[in-house]
Structure 1
């Protein structure tokens, strides 16, 4: 064997020592990094850096931001890591306007409160003032208006609270595209039907119906109107079956229309 291929132990020892030293240094750096990271985390948790500085409220229309923040009890000295989300949700959800609440934490010090309110389904007239009413039957007495916005119907003569609740339960099921074209809803109970209602539509038609299964029957209103001549005006009956009664005919002639609620 050639002497050039023989490496003595004396030559290898320095290289082994150097490799071990590099490995030990890397290990030391790793442990020191972990140590200082833990120190930084502890300092952050114990310092004002981890305190809530910003609270953002999203999705609210009827309730002001400041009221929701007060209900959340989030203070400037509240540690973002000790926030009890369940308690905050329960506190805010006590407001009858609010349907659901979710909490998002955005480090280092921002909390987002996401609100979902009950749908506004109409207006009630009291003493020449108009008050929004929600899908859960809650009347917003603090939000009086001199006029209605046209984004929900005016509910008239609903003197029975249970009947009003039934009406709002149905209205909240309607898509906004239909809800927005209803101008007025009148409760006109009769001996035969205590839940009889008459609707005045923004497109000139009148709808004769009942609160029972109203949302389901009313969803086909656009397709019913599409079957009528544009110049036709009259009453669309959506009780048992569906038919159109024209204003122009002196006689009680009725134009049958296809009832899409069947089948």
Structure 2
């Protein structure tokens, strides 16, 4: 074929027809694929696959799964694509122990409730029950956990008033290594100090302190104890200054009687 030769109409018509046929085929394939996709979506939304089959809770320690699931308002069988995530999160975060919550969907029909709890810094004893005190200072009336962890100190003789709230705030300021060494805290007010408390430590020492300066003084407890003889137990007074008074032993009593 010579360069620059003009094709006749007879030569061009077959090529135009072929181009149009290919274009029509592509369009037909697209429409058929779209039709089947819509059919599949209709079948999916009508099938159990689009309904919640399993609800899993992650990140909880104190609050049982069933309590979180119940508060979320989600139930098995609900349409997974119609659930209101914001409303469910709001409902979960209404639980005192829950700091924040998230909801994620897992293929094909699993819902994950991911929560973060406030830490329990102590337990307050009411005589017959123990109620957790959270790091935000709240006292949980309905204890879902049902037990008392070894690492959390127990508060006794406290009433649900400003003194207890102040105590909770002071405990919140302490690092975990200090909290873990406290066994019990008793509210023992004096005429001169209505905020006076007595602590019994896991290492065998007793501490006399005031809530007003509790966290400020107790943060130095490990340093103070390291200077004492671990075999000689007694009272560490942190009310005004910092000094130690050993318990009286039978030997010392006998010696005093002999004198």
Query: TM range, normalised to the smaller chain?
Result: 0.7 to 0.9
CA distance in 1, matches of 2:105, 2:144: 31
The equivalent of 1:106 in structure 2 is: 106
| Aligned-residue offset at 1:141 | 5.4
CA distance in 2, matches of 1:95, 1:190: 37
The 8 Å contact of residues 63 and 145 in structure 2, kept in 1 or not, is answered as no
| 1:179 equivalenced with 2:179 (yes/no) | yes
215-224 vs 2-11, which deviates more? 2-11
The equivalent of 2:242 in structure 1 is: 243
SS in 2 for 1:212: helix
| Aligned-residue offset at 1:160 | 5.0
Q: Where does the alignment leave 5 or more consecutive residues of structure 2 unmatched?
A: 249-259
Residue by residue, what CA displacement relative to the aligned partner does 1:6-49 show, whole Å, maximum 9, x if unpaired? 57445555445434433443343334333433443344234432
The equivalent of 2:256 in structure 1 is: none
Name the TM-score, length of structure 2 as normaliser.
Answer: 0.74
Residue by residue, what CA displacement relative to the aligned partner does 1:198-245 show, whole Å, maximum 9, x if unpaired? 22222233333322353454334334445x2554755444456x5342
The equivalent of 1:18 in structure 2 is: 18
CA distance in 2, matches of 1:217, 1:112: 44
Name the TM-score, length of structure 1 as normaliser.
Answer: 0.73
Which of 131, 137, 140 is residue 138 of structure 1 equivalent to?
140
Residue by residue, what CA displacement relative to the aligned partner does 1:239-259 show, whole Å, maximum 9, x if unpaired? 56x53425289xxxxxxxxxx
Q: What do you get for the CA RMSD once the two structures are aligned?
A: 3.4
SS in 2 for 1:165: helix
The equivalent of 1:260 in structure 2 is: none
The 8 Å contact of residues 120 and 132 in structure 1, kept in 2 or not, is answered as no
CA distance in 2, matches of 1:17, 1:59: 65
The equivalent of 1:259 in structure 2 is: none
Q: Where does the alignment leave 5 or more consecutive residues of structure 1 unmatched?
A: 250-263
The aligned runs of 1:1-263 (5 Å cut-off) are: 3=2, 6=5, 8-9=7-8, 10-11=10-11, 13-127=13-127, 129=128, 131-135=130-134, 136-140=138-142, 148-159=148-159, 161-212=161-212, 214-226=214-226, 228-229=227-228, 231=230, 234-239=234-239, 243-247=242-246
CA distance in 2, matches of 1:218, 1:92: 35
CA distance in 1, matches of 2:165, 2:123: 13
Structure 1 runs of 4+ with >6 Å offset: none
